[in-house]
């Protein structure tokens, strides 16, 4: 079986070239052809010796993603569905802005975390993506968009690992992909412009800080453990105090001077003034240990299986005001691509679930209802 060259970062590609009996510098030339020029055929690589091109043709291939469909939103957002084999389909979203172009990339086919408010989590989990399957989303989108928009300069300036899956549960394949994104011979993205979003895999946050610190976004969604246990099941393993300690440790290596906390606004569940005041107390307690953060409040994108509703905008604004008045930088995420189901929490693709998600989610919904009754009894005003 031949090697897919998109599976390698530059160091891995250099080792591959050495196995072919070639000098390591050939890897840099090859890497540029792959990622800067989007080459799909070794015959295109005209500055490589013919003998090397013949070796590559026999030992390697360039396998991009197989496009199932493309959906264009009225706001310019584009969503692709990619076939990754064995009945699994993943989704990738491009979000254009006046000052940047952001690509939202998937790291898994499905997701095993099972957050209540995320449609990917309700779908279940099939498998981790390979490095090539992760980076090929950027490889395809960047070169498609250059042709589509008639541009020669770079179109994608920001990458967010916020698509399907929990990136830090696929760390071994994520890390080389991040290195390709950052490499000047690849996409040359700034560490500040590559963001890994996690639901809170604490040991991997610490590893990322050592191996490849990029911008970090943490899916918080609740100010205390009882509520977060129901919304983000991973919290039972890594509760809020441990998670925020990991964020504080990460900050010393992070390329930005803050950690972003994502907070999905759920009507009557986590959006009350008391929840906002609890967040203020939580952040202030950890600020004394060196944590600096901002909050990104995310309007929930409803889907039937969740049993949840979106907070109305006056409620979101009132919640944000409490945080802002306490001196916490707070933004409300603008919903993009919701007319093509490409907005935050809507990515579902189509995967062969191996986790029995329907049974787990049904039990979780019942537990959530019980949890809400307990909270009301405690007078928290949910």
Residues belonging to the active site: 91, 344
Q: How far apart are CA 123 and CA 111, in angstroms?
A: 8
Give per-residue burial for 16-29: e unless 16+ CB within 10 Å, then b: bbeeeebeeebbbe
Angle, CA of 335, 217 and 350, to the nearest 5°: 60
CA dist 117 and 299 (Å) reads 11
The whole-angstrom separation of Cα 308 and Cα 220 is 17
> Quick one: how many helices (H) and strands (E) in the chain?
12, 14
**Number of Cβ atoms within 10 Å of the Cβ of 369:** 11
DSSP 226: H
Residue 244: Cβ within 10 Å count: 23
Half-sphere exposure of residue 183, counting CA atoms within 13 Å on the CB side? Answer: 22
CA dihedral 366, 369, 370, 374 (to 10 degrees): 170
Integer Cα distance of 345 and 91 in angstroms: 12
Find all residues with CB under 8 Å of 16, minimum gap 6, and list them: 3, 5, 8, 27, 60
**Rounded CA gap, 362 and 382, in Å?**
21
Record the tokens describing residue 203, joined without a space: 């040991």
Interacting residues of 138 by C-beta distance below 8 A, sequence separation 6+: 103, 105, 156, 159, 181, 187
Q: Determine phi and psi for 261, rounding to 5 degrees.
A: -105, 120
């Amino acid at each position: 079986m031949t090697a897919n060259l998109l599976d390698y970062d530059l160091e891995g590609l250099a080792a591959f070239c050495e196995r072919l009996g070639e000098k390591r510098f050939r890897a840099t030339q090859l890497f540029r052809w792959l990622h800067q020029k989007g080459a799909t055929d070794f015959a295109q690589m005209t500055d490589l010796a013919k003998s090397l091109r013949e070796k590559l043709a026999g030992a390697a291939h360039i396998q991009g993603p197989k496009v199932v469909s493309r959906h264009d939103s009225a706001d310019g957002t584009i969503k692709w569905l990619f076939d990754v084999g064995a009945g699994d389909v993943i989704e990738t979203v491009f979000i254009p802005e006046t000052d940047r172009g952001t690509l939202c990339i998937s790291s898994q086919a499905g997701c095993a975390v099972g957050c209540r408010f995320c449609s990917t989590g309700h779908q279940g989990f099939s498998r981790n993506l390979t490095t090539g399957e992760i980076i090929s989303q950027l490889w395809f989108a960047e070169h498609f968009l250059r042709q589509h928009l008639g541009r020669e300069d770079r179109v994608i300036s920001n990458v967010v690992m916020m698509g399907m899956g929990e990136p830090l549960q696929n760390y071994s394949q994520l890390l080389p992909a991040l290195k390709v994104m950052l490499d000047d011979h690849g996409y040359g993205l700034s560490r500040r412009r590559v963001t890994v979003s996690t639901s809170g895999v604490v040991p991997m946050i610490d590893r990322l800080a050592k191996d490849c610190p990029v911008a970090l976004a943490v899916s918080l969604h609740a100010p205390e453990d009882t509520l977060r246990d129901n919304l983000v099941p991973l919290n039972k393993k890594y509760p809020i105090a441990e998670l925020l300690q990991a964020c504080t440790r990460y900050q010393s290596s992070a390329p930005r001077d803050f950690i972003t906390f994502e907070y999905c606004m759920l009507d009557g569940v986590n959006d009350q003034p008391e929840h906002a005041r609890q967040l203020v107390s939580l952040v202030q307690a950890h600020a004394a240990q060196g944590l600096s953060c901002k909050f990104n409040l995310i309007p929930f994108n409803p889907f039937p299986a969740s049993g949840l509703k979106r907070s109305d905008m006056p409620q979101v604004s009132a919640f944000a005001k409490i945080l802002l008045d306490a001196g916490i930088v707070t933004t409300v995420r603008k919903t993009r691509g919701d007319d093509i189901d490409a907005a935050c929490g809507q990515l579902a693709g189509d995967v062969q679930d191996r986790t029995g998600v329907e049974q787990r989610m049904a039990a979780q919904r019942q537990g959530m209802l019980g949890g809400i009754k307990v909270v009301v009894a405690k007078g928290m005003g949910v």
